[in-house]
A and B are shown apart, each in its own frame.
Chain A
Amino acid sequence: MAKTLPKVDIVTVGVGWVGGIIAAELTKKGYKVVGIERGRERSTSDYFFGHDELRYSERYELMTDISKDTVSIRHNMKQRALPMREWGSFLIGDGVGGSANHWSGSVTRFLPYDFEIYSQTVDRYGKAKIPQDMTVQDWGITYEELEKYYQMWEATSGISGEENPHPGLPKFKWPTKPMMMTPIMELFKKAALDLKMHPYISGSANLSEIYTNPDGMTINACQYCGFCERFGCEYGAKSDPTITVVPVAKKTGNYEIRTHSVVRRVLHKDGKATGVSYINTLTGEEFIQPAEVVVLSAWTFGNVKILLNSKLGRPYDPTTGQGVIGKNYTYQSTAGKSTAFFDQQFNLYAGTGALAMAADDFNGDLFDHSELNFIHGGQIKLSAKGDLPIKTNNVPDGTPGWGREFKEKSLEYTNKSIAIGASASCMPNRYNYLDLDPTYRDAYGDPILRMTFNWTDQDRNLVKFLGEKTAAVAKQMGAKEVKQGGKLKDYDSTSYQSTHNVGGAIMGADPETSALNNYLQMWDCENVFVPGANAFPHNSATNPTGTVAALAYRAAEGIEKYLKTGGPLV
């Protein structure tokens, strides 16, 4: 029998960026917040032995224990979905701070075009430009409306970067100066300028200098140690919730975090949530936490799974196109990457997760798509993350995968091979969606989430185009050999691509076609807010964290309004 606890103002399901932002903003206003987190407490003191590639990068130290909960995967509705048994194409973290403990720290804002993608595409190219099953839609919010929330989070995190010089994009400055420029970034910059592109040092949550944020929290300067993405930062130099919003919320005395606790259901009655039920995985005890407002702040998959298992909102049905929970699951392809091989040796072991030079010339609708067989685009980017020896063994095309020649070539090209990356936007498709798996269960007896997803012609055409662009940059940089990317086959859950899984409980202007209004409040349940990447109706080309965080600040404002006035906010 579950024990019912005293009611609080707000309960958040998960304590990552979203849970932390909601907690900081609302505890500062005097509201009582409880954060329920499935993982453990985490802090910089966990990372004294952090420079361990095997433990963190290969064995996924900071990722959720997938033995307890996973997703099942299939390419289409005819196939049997089978569970992802080990981590692969994406890596989801847990513990206080969530996936932000191991993130690279790459920060962007989505493009103004993203938020009005349907209207702008129809305006510029006509309705026929959008293929029949591409369920692309406007977000119900504009860039201008979201801008102040972007700024709030960037100030909290102290993001470092250079102003984006592209004439087609809004001008804004980051709170701290750009990261250092490495020789390969200089090479990329020169090549991109030669090709009439607009390169810039992109936004980074690994900070260029020591920074104190508006809440008085200090974030340290990055040491470029090379152990960043998939690792925690022992210096406290990579902005994450454990060094920003979480301690700010704790300091108010209005915040309590319960770790090792897995939420199974949002409890609701007569169209309103009453709280959540959860299990403490250390003691096995079950609890009910009543609350005025429930915020789902887990990963995309966790949020959608809890909604479906709670029977909250209308589940999406791809055969009719009706319903919203599970709709418009999208991802991001990195297959447009080309690899450049040089004679010269660079210090590629040095670097950090978000140290990069990017160009948006082939992103969004910043180029003409009239003669192209896709919409949107991708970002071209050269990263200096720090090459690690198990992971980075680049060899030119035609080299065997093991043995003498592989050894010699992989050694020769260490510190001499550079990836020119391209992350592609991903448009929704009627048949790419999330629902509950009919067979497989998590460790607590609940159905796991089922992903039905494959790349579409839109993705394949776009990625091929990006492969040509990245190869051109590589050649312009003076590479003696280029391995051109751009081939996108069936979605492969086994090889890492990105942890940018979005959609499934999307925002919009119409309750018929979206789950959430533009305050991230559920249309069908006014005291439930779901401000994660699940809210994206499609995926833009770049890293989603800035937009997730901006939506969280927007939701925090909405929750405060709701607690004062009640009712639907839109």
Chain B
Amino acid sequence: MGDEKQAKSNSRREFLKNSGLAIGGLVVGGVVGGALMGKNGQQPAVQEHEHAAATTAENYNQALMFFNQEQFKIAEAAAEVIFPKTESGPGAKELLVAYYMDHQLGGAYGLNTKEYMSGPFYFAEAVPEQGYQTHLNRQQIFLLGLEALNAEAAKRFSTKEKADVKFYDLTEEQQIEILKDVEDDKVKLNGAANASMFFDLLKGLTMEGVYADPMYGGNKDMAGWKMKNFPGHQMNYTKVVTSKEFVKMDPQSLHSQHKQ
């Protein structure tokens, strides 16, 4: 813990030093300069921040604002098939991707608020290059998709011993088989949305949940970034950019920008 703290304050010092090098030590402009420079343009002492709460703390973000329990379980299982745990590192489940999906679908993105949702809709007539042409929003499409996953699981894999099998009860192989058919529109959603629309949403949200800043609820402990050697939010790469050697560094999230 102590080392991490040291590393963080070092990187901030490094940033100030590098900026000075990069621009001749004259001015660090824009909002960053304003925040880092004192009122008289003097560089303030770097604050030693209080360190983050103990690692055992509860993650209050792990709660649902949109899915019910059943929907969450299906989404979590499907995301894990898209981005499974492997020897390279954690999968969607460990990265809390299903919570990320829940939070995104619960808000503006799920409701398509910044999109053109005026009719008339010509879903059947549209060609794919015209983009989505359905009156359904992402919340509705996603829930239809989750229902379809369970329905397909029950239809294909129920046995005498166990009727009404759920998608999350299946083996990975069985889940892949269903998801492939969903991707290829061999499964029907309803007359206003194709299964592939759900699939694209599922895949897109999974990748975002793996790699978006942890403040959105996924990418737990920046483990998605660590697998990719992505350093996240850094102030400056003026030295790295010309380096012939690969430079590996501890990632930083936007949280590091907002410690009081």
Q: Taking beta carbons and an 8 Å cutoff, which residues of A are in contact with B?
A: 43-49, 51-54, 58-60, 65-67, 70, 73-75, 79-80, 82-86, 88, 180-183, 209-210, 218, 220-221, 223-226, 233-237, 345-347, 349-351, 355, 384, 388-390, 393, 401-404, 407-408, 411, 414-415, 439-441, 490-494
Contact = CB atoms under 8 A, between A and B. Distances in A.
A351 B230 CA distance: 13
Given A44-B30, A67-B114, A220-B27, 15 more contacts: A49-B254, A53-B213, A60-B114, A75-B127, A86-B115, A180-B238, A236-B30, A347-B243, A350-B237, A390-B207, A401-B203, A403-B176, A407-B84, A440-B118, A493-B131
B257 interface: yes
Interface stretch (B16-24, B141-149, B151-159): B16-24
B258 A224 contact: no
A407 B27 contact: no
Contacts of B225: 389
A225 B237 contact: yes
B72 interface: no
B241 A182 contact: yes
Given A51-B254, A54-B212, A70-B116, A235 B32 contact: yes
B33 A235 contact: yes
B29 A220 contact: yes
Given A48-B32, A48-B35, A415-B229, A221 B22 contact: yes
Interface in B3-23: 18-19, 22-23
A411 B87 CA distance: 12
A74 B203 CA distance: 27
Contact of A84 (B19, B116, B216): B116
Contacts of B2: none
A347 B117 contact: no
B101 to A, nearest CB: 13
Contacts of B130: 73-74, 82, 84, 493
A408 B88 contact: yes
7 contacts: A85-B112, A210-B23, A235-B29, A346-B246, A407-B86, A491-B129, A493-B130
B191 interface: no
Count chain A CB atoms within 10 A of each CB in B32, B91, B128 and give the residue with the most.
Answer: B32
A48 B109 contact: no
A233 B236 CA distance: 12
A180 B239 CA distance: 10
B129 A209 contact: no
A82 B243 contact: no
A408 B86 contact: yes
Count chain A CB atoms within 10 A of each CB in B30, B89, B228 and give the residue with the most.
Answer: B30
B216 A51 contact: no
A402 B125 contact: no
B244 A183 contact: yes
Given A58-B208, A85-B131, A384-B241, A49 B116 contact: no
Contacts, number: 207
A494 B34 contact: no
Contacts of B91: 407
Contacts of A58: 208, 212
A390 B212 contact: yes
B241 A220 contact: no
Contacts of A53: 211-213
A83 B86 contact: no
Count chain B CB atoms within 10 A of each CB in A53, A60, A74, A390 and give the residue with the most.
Answer: A390
B231 interface: yes
A401 B199 CA distance: 12
B259 to A, nearest CB: 13
Nearest to B132: A85
A351 B127 CA distance: 37
A407 B31 CA distance: 37
A393 B207 contact: yes
B37 interface: no
A487 B44 CA distance: 55
B126 interface: yes
Contacts of B84: 403-404, 407
Q: What 7 A-B pairs come out closest when comparing CB atoms?
A: A350-B237, A236-B30, A389-B211, A44-B30, A54-B212, A51-B233, A223-B236
Contact of A67 (B117, B179, B207): B117
Nearest to B246: A345
Contacts of A210: 23-24, 26-27
A59 B109 contact: yes
Contacts of A86: 112, 115-116, 131-132
A355 B228 CA distance: 22
Contacts of B30: 44, 47, 220, 233-237
A237 B19 CA distance: 12
Given A86-B115, A210-B23, A411-B227, A223 B237 contact: yes
Nearest to A70: B116
Contact of B228 (A384, A389, A404): A389
A79 B127 CA distance: 10
A492 B86 contact: no
Contacts of B243: 183, 347
A404 B179 CA distance: 14
Contact of B133 (A67, A82, A355, A407): A82
Given A85-B115, A411-B228, A225 B86 contact: no
A494 B236 contact: no
A441 B118 contact: yes
Given A51-B233, A58-B208, A407 B242 contact: no
A225 B234 contact: yes
B29 A218 contact: yes
Contacts of A388: 230
A226 B228 CA distance: 15
Nearest to A346: B246
Contacts of B27: 210, 218, 220
B122 A80 contact: yes
A440 to B, nearest CB: 7
B247 interface: yes
Nearest to A207: B23
Contact of A54 (B32, B127, B213): B213
A80 B229 contact: no
A66 B117 CA distance: 9
